[in-house]
Amino acid sequence: MTNKELDRLLAKYWNAESTLEEETQLRSYFSSNTVDYQYSEVALLFHVFSSDRQINAPVLKVPELEPFESRANTKVVQFGTNWRAAAAILVIAIAALFLVKSGLDNTTQMKATYVEVDDPESALEFTRMALAMLSKNYQKGSAEITNNINSLNKMDIIK
């Protein structure tokens, strides 16, 4: 068998387009001792296929099962749905208790203070106090962000 014909048959074999006669030709060629060196891996594969054919596996007996109709008197009990419903009710009850308790607890809620000022001088003073508090919190937050960015810059993550 020429290399060209062998390549054609192998191409058909790998594409699952070969006939039984062509596969028999391939098996007989690769089982012979005149295999070209470039086809040694394919010959090894066909050798494994032929040795696997010779393995005789023991026949296992499968016990016969009762017909399904004889099991009609049995009762199927499902616990999953009942447990799921009970768990869902328990979760809802705990959530409701938590929400009711947190609603009744006045210490957790912040109360807003509202101050009405008629005098422009005192209004200016309240505005300055509010802006000072805002500035102080902004500086604290921006300082923390700057520290975090500086620590990230010190790391060699992206360089």
Q: What is the 3-state secondary structure (H, E, C) of 39-85?
A: HHHHHHHHHHHHHHHCCCCCCCCCCCCCCHHHHCCCCCCCCHHHHHH
Tokens found for residue 29: 């060629």
Using 50, 70 and 90 to split pLDDT, how confident is the model at 91?
A: very high
**Least confident range of 6-10, 40-44, 71-75, 95-99:** 71-75
CA distance 14 to 22: 12
Percent of the chain with pLDDT over 90: 4
Is the entire prediction scored with pTM above 0.85? no
Give the HSE-up count for residue 87: Cα atoms under 13 Å, Cβ half-sphere: 6
- C-alpha closest to that of 5 among 39, 48, 47: 39
Q: Is residue 138 predicted with pLDDT exceeding 80?
A: no
* Cα dihedral across residues 29, 30, 33, 36: positive or negative: positive
- Is 131's pLDDT higher than 80? yes
3-state secondary structure of 14: helix
Q: In the prediction, which pLDDT does 134 show?
A: 82
